[in-house]
Amino acid sequence: MQEDVFLTAEQHIQNEQQRSHPHASGDFSWLLSGIALATKVVAAQIRRAGLVDVVGSAGTTNVQGETVQKLDVLANQALLTCLGNRGNVGVLASEENEEPVVVLRDPHYGKYVVIFDPLDGSSNIDVNVSVGTIFSIFRREDGDTAPLDPAADVLHPGTQQVAAGYVLYGASTMLVYSTGSGVHGFTLDPSFGAYVLTHRNMTMPDSGPYYSVNEANLASFPAGYTRFLAALREGRGGRNYSSRYVGSLVADFHRTLLKGGIFLYPPTGRYDKGKLRLMYEANPIAFLAEQAGGMATDGARRILTIEPEGLHQRTPLVVGSRKEVTLLMEMLAGDGK
């Protein structure tokens, strides 16, 4: 087979590292293979949802006060295990765990920090709607001999991510990631269990035909958002738009990445700071969006520049094509919001 027809995610990241860091130790490829393994385990369970007892609530609530689904527990455990035994992870932080987990104290060995949402949108599984795993990777300062402070070790602005990505458990299972040299997509071939390169250098169109927002919250959006959405509906965005909203961030973002347009989760009456979490939803999505030529803001500033104050803090999220995001920002600026 021609080499570029059959390139696995692990081989691709190895090639990337060799190209950009000739003396790379292969550490990062090994780390990514931990994410690939864990998400293959999750995909296998999701594909059997309904046939085996993995659907429904686990009977507990998480740090967010949300009902934990059985697959949330399985996905979280798979990632903690597959990343915890890589030998190069210092700290793991999960949406499902209140505090970060210290894996290796010595920053020389435990040089990576991985923050993840193990199964975003999991409440959709019962109705067979796509869900996703989202991950964000930082690197601890080499030779940093300061005592490990898990909270401090994970609270960095998104600009300091060394990599980010997601796995979409949809019609097919796709791994999409970036290490800062473009965005690349891999489709899981279940016949032999490998993520194979199918989307090289994914770029987001400068404009797109879809806006994606939960319009049930329209009445409580800040005025600039409602004016923006009215402008799109009335054709004042320079094109006709359709509304698409899955209610699963990874699915809604993946469509926006491929087709263009805009995804919005503005401040609402219930979530006055936005619903989505900065560290393991907005930051990795924003990293990918910018790498693909798109934009991501909280309505006022770049998501990636937000200085985090807490692992589970929430933020408004606007992400998508340059044209639509810029138009919204102009309307919000006009409101001083």
Q: Which residues would be at the binding site for ligand P6P (CB under 6 A)?
A: 120-121, 123, 214, 247-249, 252, 275
CA 40 to chain centre: 17
Q: Which is nearer to ligand P6P, 222 or 247 (CB)?
A: 247
Q: Which is nearer to ligand P6P, 166 or 177 (CB)?
A: 166
Q: How far is CA 96 from CA 65, 92, 148, 265, in A?
A: 10, 11, 21, 21
* Residue 321 CB, nearest approach to ligand P6P (Å): 18
Say whether 211 sits in a helix, a strand or coil.
strand
Q: Which is nearer to ligand P6P, 8 or 57 (CB)?
A: 57
Please tell me the distance from the alpha carbon of residue 113 to that of residue 125, in angstroms, as a whole number.
Answer: 28
Q: Which is nearer to ligand P6P, 249 or 306 (CB)?
A: 249
* Residue 46 CB, nearest approach to ligand P6P (Å): 15
Strands lying side by side in the sheet with 101-102:
101-102, 89-94, 112-120, 131-139, 163-169, 173-178, 184-189, 194-199
* Residue 78 CB, nearest approach to ligand P6P (Å): 19
* Residue 18 CB, nearest approach to ligand P6P (Å): 35
Q: Which is nearer to ligand P6P, 8 or 123 (CB)?
A: 123
Q: Which is nearer to ligand P6P, 23 or 270 (CB)?
A: 270
Q: Which is nearer to ligand P6P, 100 or 121 (CB)?
A: 121
Give me the amino acid identity at 100.
Answer: P
188: CB partners within 8 A, 6+ apart: 40, 43, 172, 173, 174, 175, 194, 195, 196
Joined together, the tokens standing for residue 86 give 């890589």
* Residue 311 CB, nearest approach to ligand P6P (Å): 16
Is the separation of the CB atoms in 64 and 95 below 8 Å?
yes
* Residue 24 CB, nearest approach to ligand P6P (Å): 33
Please tell me the distance from the alpha carbon of residue 57 to that of residue 55, in angstroms, as a whole number.
Answer: 7
* Residue 271 CB, nearest approach to ligand P6P (Å): 8
Instruction: Name the nearest CA neighbour of 292 among 176, 172, 139.
Output: 176
CB atoms within 10 A of CB 51: 8
